[in-house]
Structures are given as C-alpha cells and as structure tokens.
Amino acid sequence: MKKILLIEDEFYILDLYRIILEKAGFEVLLAEDGEKGYNLAQNLPNLILLDIMLPKMNGIILLKKLKEEDLTKNIPVVLLSNLGQEEVIKTAFDSGASGYFLKVRLSPDELVKKVNIFIENPNFKMDHKTLVFD
C-alpha cells in the first residue's frame, strides 16, 4: 500500500482529503503543522501533499528542509494551496516542489488522478510556467 503524508492545518480539508485518499487505497499519514509534518516525513512516504500556510513551520520552509536532507530529498512533494500568485508558485518549484495545485480548483476525483500521476512516476515534475491561476 502506497503511503501519502498530508500536511494541512484546516481540519475540514485534512479530513476530506484523508477520506478521499483512503477510499482510493492509500495509507494516509496526517500532520496539522509543519513541525509534525517534518517528523512524519522521516517515515518515508511515497508522496507528500503540503499546504503552504501552516503553523510552526510554513510549507516553503518545510519543503526546503526536506529537499536538503539525504533521507527525504527524493520524496516527491506536491503543494496544495489557495495561494495562486506567480511568485509563490515559482518559489515553490525553485525550492523543489514536483507539483502545485489550487485547492479551490481541485475536485476529489482530480485529487486522486493527480496523486496517482506522482505515485506512478516519482520523478514527474509539472512545468510551473504553464500554471497561470490569476
């Protein structure tokens, strides 16, 4: 069973995504802040779904820390955020993100489809230049 670490501080979204991903057959680890997410990443999930606006450690700082460490640097990290500014997206990709999706535009079915892309091909990277959310 593939393992996904979901790092999200909004309980409703955390619970909704957990249910969706578990129904799709994934084991889901949950963290509601950046520090807990960092600690759970040491369990080597197959994919990390990461919010940016988090307590204790924001998602960009967490992403940079994960990509600097030998143990976690190869885990694909996909950001799920409502921040659609080009500068934020560019910073995420420059920091090592494999993908970036706006939560408000991601249906439950799309979430599973997108997750499967990164699970099946851990080296897949979205082209951030094609992401225009404004």
For the chain, the domains span 3-108
Give this prediction's pTM: 0.93
The maximal CA–CA distance of the chain, rounded, in angstroms, is 37
* CA atoms within a 13 Å half-sphere pointing along the CA-CB vector of 60: 12
Block residue for tokens 């640097």:
73
pLDDT in tens, 69-86: 999 999 999 999 887 778
pLDDT one-digit tens code per residue, 94-130: 999 999 988 888 888 889 999 999 999 988 888 766 6
**In this structure, what token pair is assigned to residue 12?**
């409703």
Confidence at 62, pLDDT banded by 50, 70, 90: very high
Label residues 65-94 b or e (16+ Cβ within 10 Å = b): bbeeeeebeebbbbbbbebeeeeebebbbe
Topology of 3-108 in CATH? Rossmann fold (3.40.50)
